[in-house]
Structure 1
Amino acid sequence: MKNSGQTTSFYSWIVVAMLWIVAFLNYLDRILITSMHDPIVMDFKLTDAQFGLLTSVFLWSYGFLSPFGGYLADKYSRKKMIVMSIMVWSAVTLWTGFATSFHEMLAARFLMGVSEACYIPAALALITDYHKGKTRSLATGLHMSGLYAGLALGGLGGYISELWGWRSGFHIFGIIGIVYSFVLLYVLKDHNVEPSEDEGEKESVSHKMSLTGALKVLFSEKSFFVLLFYFTVLGMVNWIVYGWLPTFLKDHFHLDQGEAGISATGYVQAGSFIGVILGGILADRWTRKNDKGRLYILIIGFTIGAPFLFLMASTNIFGIAILAMMVFGLARGFNDANLMPILRQVSDQRYVATGYGFLNFLSTIVGGLMVYIGGALKDAQIDLSIIYQISAGMMLLATWSLFAIKLKKNNTQN
């Protein structure tokens, strides 16, 4: 690629900064509910399986619509999909705070999943449109740190529910998101390919194809299947961790609700903040010398992080559990800084948002199933520590499967 294609403009970083706030709200709004387990269960008289279903329904609708949301971002406008997404999910967050029945809560969580499905594929595609090889992993990682901030502060839901009731958090953050969507409407811009950029990339912008046609192209690459398997297992592990970690810490280490909520998100996300920046910088530098630099950073992450997840589930010492959560978070950071850049190295550039959307599809469908199964197993008196130990082993095997990926060399810097 010509040097002009490698220039990173000031506005490219403004895009990352604007979308950081969206990413923060994206995960905060979806995760608030997990740290409010006790008051919501008491208010609606739910079983643990029913409470798990609130997250599962969100993940299933989010997963099923992700490929479609990614496809629309590829075919039409990244910006429009991002603005529409935050506007709708914030309105649904506000509505959640007014829900009066379990079935209304289910409906709200379903619609939140539909609206949020349009964000991540479009946002990551837009960021990697603006940022080429030398800054791509770092820019992606900085954006993903917004998700971690949302996850970390989502743990404050336990404290908010104790102080003002569980509904207050949904009201506050729903209003903030609606207001910010109008800011994005006027400030955010789609990436325009300059005449000096290569013809292949110009063709990628103008080319139109159906969703089934795009998926056919994506699935013609064997490496896409490997990424799909890996990301599916990652989704299972992540959501069984994030969905039930507050409850696990509360029961296993005898913490109160607020402390369990903030511990479950805070320590993991602290490690992720470090991992997403460190992993982005190291991957960008390594990839200048080796096309597989990003892939190796990702593999190193969970080769270390998965055993620490096992350790967290096995120890009775809270200090060791804190360390284990931070190392697992570090591995997640390595992953999040590099997954979309790796996808751009193995897939057709025209359909990267669609490809990421399909990865999200299977990942969240099985992730939602695991959250529900976690609740059902807990109802059956099966300890969450056993589930976490099994999850750690699965994560390690899925990570090592990435050695089978073959990269397209001409996509390394695109």
Structure 2
Amino acid sequence: MLALLFAGNLLNFYDRTIPAIVVEPIKAEFGLSDAEIGLITAAFTIVYALFGIPLGRLADRSSRRAVLAIGLAVWSLLTAVTGFVGGFATLVMVRLLLGVGEASFAPAANSLVADLYPPDQRARATGRWQLGLPVGLVLAFFTVGAITDAFDSWRAAFFVAALPGLVVAGLLAFIREPARGASEAAPVATAQVNSPIRSLLRVRTLWWLVLAGIGSQIASYAVATFSVPLFQRHFHTGLAMGATFAGIMIALTGLVGLTLGGRIADRASRRSPAGRVLTGAYGVLAAVPLTAAAFIVASDMPVLFVIVFSAGWLPQYLYFTAAYPAVADVVEPRLRGTAMAVFLAASYLLGGAFGPPIAGALSDRFAASQDLSVDAAAAYGLHLSLAIVIPAGLLIGAAGLFGAARCVTRDRERMRISLRAAR
């Protein structure tokens, strides 16, 4: 089951990364600005966040297997449809619909993992299915550029990506779900909660985790959307080489960060739930100066930029192995799908949806302020914009995790008392 969740998560991030890799040909064909490119990502992210909440409630009330399988099939079909769009408006519309399908995955998957593994193993298990994130990015960054060059069309990659999703969706339809709360020491009440959102809002840890998610998503979505254009404009690489460099510093670091991060976080959680969250806080904090330092590297040294940025981007993946299990640590099993959906919705709406438009708008503004050629101004604007947005987002993320670490032990104990009272 964990392998299928990994595969679904891989396809989730592969599909959503394709537009970021083919930014320049899309921009050229449809005559778009960087701000409009950012809006394409924002449109997907807003719908992804908003629909995550009702789909999270659906995962708590009905078959998580069905939510996962149907959602994956829908977004795979819409990935193929993206290859047929004829303009900016239709591209945005299809990405909006695709966001609905992808929103089904994380809440249901996180709820399943929490029932499959006890608390002291959840970070490692979370790290394993979340490995789909960097693996999906690796495959996207290493293959989409080559597919685009081979077919001389940015549309080809969308068609190639659709088929595997339909296969995995079919396999997910046959998994056997664990009982809700199966991994908890205390018995779990099965009755529905009358006011689930109000109950979740009382958990202070979730408020801090949302702040961490906002910062993390601002940085992550800005990086994912504009890294390949940065290499093409500032470092003067081709699309395929720029995508490969971006894959190394964004995706390969995730393979290491999530694998080691899960082990480190679970080991720290054996002392207290706060230990796991603190590992994420220190990891994200360490990423701030290192990613900022990368933007000092000269434009004729792209390899050095990749090395320095990778050193900073790797520890920020500890955010996932700290924040995601922390949601399960402080929320009772019958609300975990909803809790994850609310957490992701707030993170994406206030973070992921704003990161690319802010970075794009700043890029356009900085470019317009320079008396340079069009290409040189575009390179200058994007480089300066990312140098500001990425470290700032990571700093907000670290602050949120440090705040969550102060509350998580107390909220964990309250949740356990509630479970014992339900016996």
* TM-score (norm: length of structure 1): 0.89
Q: Which AA in structure 1 matches 2:243?
A: G
Higher mean alpha-carbon deviation, 72-81 vs 360-369, is at 360-369
Q: In the alignment, is the contact (CA less than 8 A) between 1:69 and 1:357 conserved in 2?
A: yes
Instruction: Using the TM superposition, give the Cα deviation of residue 377 of structure 1 relative to its aligned residue in structure 2, in angstroms.
Output: 2.6
Higher mean alpha-carbon deviation, 378-387 vs 235-244, is at 378-387
Match in the other structure for 1:191: 178
Q: How does 1:349-360 map to 2 (within 5 A)?
A: 349-360=333-344
Instruction: Using the TM superposition, give the Cα deviation of residue 365 of structure 1 relative to its aligned residue in structure 2, in angstroms.
Output: 2.0
Size of the aligned set, in residue pairs, is: 393
Cα offsets for 1:195-254 (capped at 9, x unmatched): 8965542x1xx22135xx211111112221111111111111111111111111222212
Instruction: Using the TM superposition, give the Cα deviation of residue 331 of structure 1 relative to its aligned residue in structure 2, in angstroms.
Output: 2.1
CA pair 81-218 structure 1, distance change in 2 beyond 3 A: same
Q: Which AA in structure 2 matches 1:57?
A: A
| 1:245 paired to 2:240 | no
* In structure 1, C-alpha distance between the alignment counterparts of 2:364 and 2:388, rounded to whole Å: 18
- Taking only the aligned residue pairs, the percentage that are identical comes to 25
* In structure 2, C-alpha distance between the alignment counterparts of 1:334 and 1:400, rounded to whole Å: 14
Instruction: Using the TM superposition, give the Cα deviation of residue 267 of structure 1 relative to its aligned residue in structure 2, in angstroms.
Output: 2.1
| Other structure's SS at 1:166 match | coil
Cα offsets for 1:288-320 (capped at 9, x unmatched): 223322112101211211211111223224333
| The one of 307, 328, 341 aligned to 1:344 | 328
Aligned-CA RMSD value = 2.1
| The one of 159, 179, 183 aligned to 2:146 | 159
Q: How does 1:88-167 map to 2 (within 5 A)?
A: 88-155=74-141, 156-164=143-151, 165-167=153-155
| The one of 260, 263, 286 aligned to 1:304 | 286
| 1:268 paired to 2:256 | no
Q: Which AA in structure 2 matches 1:372?
A: P
CA pair 401-379 structure 1, distance change in 2 beyond 3 A: closer
| The one of 382, 385, 399 aligned to 2:383 | 385
* In structure 2, C-alpha distance between the alignment counterparts of 1:400 and 1:196, rounded to whole Å: 31
Higher mean alpha-carbon deviation, 262-271 vs 317-326, is at 317-326
* In structure 1, C-alpha distance between the alignment counterparts of 2:280 and 2:105, rounded to whole Å: 23
* In structure 2, C-alpha distance between the alignment counterparts of 1:181 and 1:71, rounded to whole Å: 20
* In structure 2, C-alpha distance between the alignment counterparts of 1:362 and 1:195, rounded to whole Å: 28
Q: Which AA in structure 1 matches 2:114?
A: T
Ranges in structure 1 where 5+ consecutive residues have no aligned partner: 1-14
Match in the other structure for 1:10: none
| Other structure's SS at 1:315 match | coil
| Other structure's SS at 1:99 match | coil
| 1:228 paired to 2:216 | no
Match in the other structure for 2:378: none
Ranges in structure 2 where 5+ consecutive residues have no aligned partner: 368-380
Match in the other structure for 1:404: 403
Match in the other structure for 1:181: 169
CA pair 360-197 structure 1, distance change in 2 beyond 3 A: closer
* In structure 2, C-alpha distance between the alignment counterparts of 1:257 and 1:402, rounded to whole Å: 36
Q: How does 1:17-36 map to 2 (within 5 A)?
A: 17-36=3-22
Q: Which runs of 4+ in 1 moved over 4 A?
A: 193-199
* In structure 2, C-alpha distance between the alignment counterparts of 1:143 and 1:195, rounded to whole Å: 19
* In structure 1, C-alpha distance between the alignment counterparts of 2:68 and 2:184, rounded to whole Å: 25
Q: In the alignment, is the contact (CA less than 8 A) between 2:228 and 2:242 conserved in 1?
A: yes
Q: In the alignment, is the contact (CA less than 8 A) between 1:277 and 1:337 conserved in 2?
A: no
| Other structure's SS at 1:294 match | helix
* TM-score (norm: length of structure 2): 0.87
* In structure 2, C-alpha distance between the alignment counterparts of 1:197 and 1:375, rounded to whole Å: 45
| The one of 239, 246, 260 aligned to 1:278 | 260
* In structure 2, C-alpha distance between the alignment counterparts of 1:170 and 1:193, rounded to whole Å: 36
* In structure 2, C-alpha distance between the alignment counterparts of 1:52 and 1:230, rounded to whole Å: 21
CA pair 325-268 structure 1, distance change in 2 beyond 3 A: farther
* In structure 2, C-alpha distance between the alignment counterparts of 1:220 and 1:90, rounded to whole Å: 37
CA pair 176-49 structure 1, distance change in 2 beyond 3 A: same
Q: Which AA in structure 2 matches 1:63?
A: A
* In structure 2, C-alpha distance between the alignment counterparts of 1:193 and 1:214, rounded to whole Å: 16
